[in-house]
Structure 1
Amino acid sequence: MKLERLLAIVVLLINRRRLQAKDLADMFEVSIRTIYRDIDTLGQAGIPVVTYQGASGGIGLAEGYRLDRNLLTDKDLASIVTALRSISTSHDNTARDLLVEKLSSIVPEARNEDFQASTHRFIVDYSTWTHPEALQNKLKVIDQGIDELQSICFVYCSAEGTQTCRTVDPHTLVLKRHAWYLYAFCHERKEFRMFKLVRMKEVALAAQHFERKSINLRDRPWQQEWSRPVNQIGITLKFHERARHLAEEWFGIENVLPDGNGYYVSQIAFPEDNWLYGFILGFGADVEVLEPLHIRDKVCQIAEQIIQNYKTSS
């Protein structure tokens, strides 16, 4: 029967790397044409059967399709489920939820209670405290653009407050320091750029499609560009004891050192822009810029303007 033959072919392909169509035809006493029709049927049923060309070719399953339960411990599965659930806190995804169910079903019923408990030992919550629906809507559109290789367009507000209309080819979503970014090829700039999602508005799918460019994301190209010495400036900050813990959270406990006079000093490097001035001012009166002098003067000017604003309004 055809059904029995189809099931037998699947089992053979799971247990063997590749098989020749002729060998399968001889095994089941059918024509090679029938075997290829069977392969088409399996493909339509969702079984990723692939025909490989060349001397070492043949018929096999797509790389990565086979998953041996014995290769993954309950702890391994719990780690995967925890990661998937954490990502889901930022935006809903039905396919991801179904995957969690599939992975959970692999665990024998006798160990299921312990397994579920292990997946709730800690939760990484990527959602925002306020207006989570705005972030979710952006992520859904970007997800669709990445999945369907469709460009997206939006209005972008830079750190300096300049608004521009952008069309980009979305490649990767990046979560960095509690903020979501999109790494995409910008049509206007003709290069890859990082876009902070909270600065994007009117996000929508564009009409055109694109071909995904070959980039090595394991090297984190956005980090390399940001960390280039030419894009950064060295800064020396002095912190009051009250802000020591905040400085340690940002720069690491090993980079916040006592100066012998009851204060703490940290030497850091950041790109110089309006974000940097606001970041420094965020420490309030518990920080002082020691070097460079022009940043010290700039922060002082902004602080004086803030005082003037309050004097004018009172």
Structure 2
Amino acid sequence: MKLERLLAIVVLLINRGRLQAKDLADRFEVSIRTIYRDIDTLGQAGIPVVTYQGASGGIGLAEGYRLDRNLLTDKDLASIVTALRSISTSHTNAARELLVEKLSSIVPEAKNEDFQASTHRFIVDYSTWTHPEALQQKLNVIDQGIDQFQCIRFAYCNAEGAQSYRTVDPHTLVLKKHVWYLYAFCHERNEFRMFKLVRMKDVTLAAQHFERKSIDLQDRPWQQDWSRPDNQISMTLKFHVRARHLAEEWFGIENVLPDGNGYYISQVAFPEDNWLYGFILGFGADVEVLEPLHIRDNVCQMAEQIVQKYKTATQT
């Protein structure tokens, strides 16, 4: 366990640059004194650990230090290959495919059969059921923009159906619940925004280039913005037993509780927008909004409009 912790500390310091001893202690659930003993052990092993004093101090490594690739085990390589192949199910990339070949070639021939078997122990398929060509075309253009620090332009239709034209600095592609998003700095809004790829049309590279802004992607800034308490509304939903399995898929088994009368109750929170109402209506008659009342009333009005539309169509 200590050896694994020592290697993990080195990897963290390489990736993060400088960390506080307390942060390391909290991460590995050990004392600060243990962390300092680990640092001494690393120093004795010839790893150039540097301790910085002062308010902005911490623990780091000498600039330019890197791990030898021989520290990667066959299991590590298999995990990397599996991850790369999983991404490629939704976003093919020649450079990524070549990297898989390179990593596979590192494994000795005598171990190759076991290695290939370990890379197929499970498959994560991110591909869509329909229209993969159109999505791939957008991904390729965005990839090129990110690689070359080149702005992209596109027409965008938001959740309310309003269309606008955007020029953005593409920073990161995000795959969330089988849906691709672009996290980019929007010139028109002068801030970072999340754009859903299926709502983007006529995606092209712009002539101007941009300088990538410093953002901490490990904190997933798009998630923080979406889940802000002031951006969400709490709801109480009642589900028919027929929809219990669907509710459990969305909200978790622990959040779908029997009410004692044959129905199931969930306490959930989402941003209130057109997607939310479409989501609720998607359950049909198997869900009832108990609270808040204004969402209940809005869903009722939408359902009445749907009924009226079909009645009118039948009469004509």
Q: TM-score, normalised by structure 2?
A: 0.78
- Determine the C-alpha separation between the residues in 2 that align with 1:257 and 1:192: 38
Using a 3 Å threshold, how does the CA distance of structure 1 residues 61 and 233 change in structure 2: closer, same or farther? closer
User: Counterparts of 1:221 and 1:157 in 2: how far apart (Å)?
Assistant: 22
User: What do residues 170-225 of structure 1 show as CA deviations (whole Å, max 9, x unaligned)?
Assistant: 00111111111110000000000000111111001011100000011111111111
Q: Deviations over 1:5-24 (max 9, x none)?
A: xxxxxxxxxxxxxxxxxxxx
Measured in 1, the distance between the counterparts of 2:89 and 2:64 equals: 31
Give unpaired runs (5+ residues) of structure 2.
1-61
Following the alignment from structure 1 to structure 2, what is the Cα–Cα distance between the partners of residues 312 and 158? Answer: 29
The residue number in structure 1 matching 2:137 is 137
Distance 1:61 1:271 in 2: 44
Where 1:279 maps in the other structure, the secondary structure is: helix
Q: Measure, in 1, the Cα distance between the counterparts of 2:234 and 2:101.
A: 49
Q: Deviations over 1:94-139 (max 9, x none)?
A: 1111110010011111111111111111111111100000110011
Aligned to 1:170: 170
The alignment status of 1:297 with 2:301, answered yes or no, reads no
Letter in 2 for 1:68: R
1:73 pairs with 2:56: no
2:85 maps to amino acid: R
Quick check: 1:225 aligned with 2:225?
yes
Structure 2 distance, partners of 1:132, 1:62, is 41
1: CA distance, partners of 2:289 / 2:186 = 36
Pair 1:266-2:266 in alignment: yes
Identity among equivalent pairs (%): 83
Report what 2:39 is aligned to: none
CA distance 1:143–1:63, change in 2 (3 Å)? farther
Q: How do 1:152-301 and structure 2 match up within 5 A?
A: 152-301=152-301
Q: 2:277, 2:200 → 1: CA distance? A: 22
Residue 125 (structure 1) aligns with? 125
Contact 2:127 2:178 in 1 (8 A): no
**Deviation by residue 1:119-173 (Cα, 9 ceiling, x = unmatched):** 1111111111000001100111111111100010100000000000000000011
* Superposed structure 1 runs of 4+ greater than 2 Å apart: 60-64, 66-69
Aligned partners of 1:241, 1:172: CA distance in 2, in Å? Answer: 41
Report how far residue 76 of structure 1 moved: 1.1
- The CA deviation at 1:61 is 11
Letter in 2 for 1:305: Q
For residues 286 and 304 of structure 1, the distance between their equivalents in structure 2, rounded to whole angstroms, comes to 16
Q: Which has the larger radius of gyration?
A: 1
What is the CA–CA distance in structure 2 between the aligned matches of 1:306 and 1:120, rounded to whole Å? Answer: 47
Instruction: Work out the CA distance in 1 between the residues paired with 2:145 and 2:112.
Output: 37
1:47-126 mapped onto 2 (5 Å cutoff): 64=66, 67-69=68-70, 71-126=71-126
Change (3 A) 1:212 1:81: same
Shift in Å at residue 68 of structure 1?
A: 2.6
Unaligned runs of 5+ in 1: 1-59
SS of corresponding position for 2:170: strand
- Alpha-carbon distance in 1 for matches of 2:135, 2:244: 32
- Alpha-carbon contact 2:238-2:287 (below 8 Å) kept: yes
**Two-structure CA RMSD over aligned residues (Å):** 1.4
Determine the structure 2 residue equivalent to 1:46. none
Match of 1:213, as an amino acid? K
Structure 1 residue matching 2:173: 3-state secondary structure: strand
Q: CA deviation at 1:304?
A: 1.0
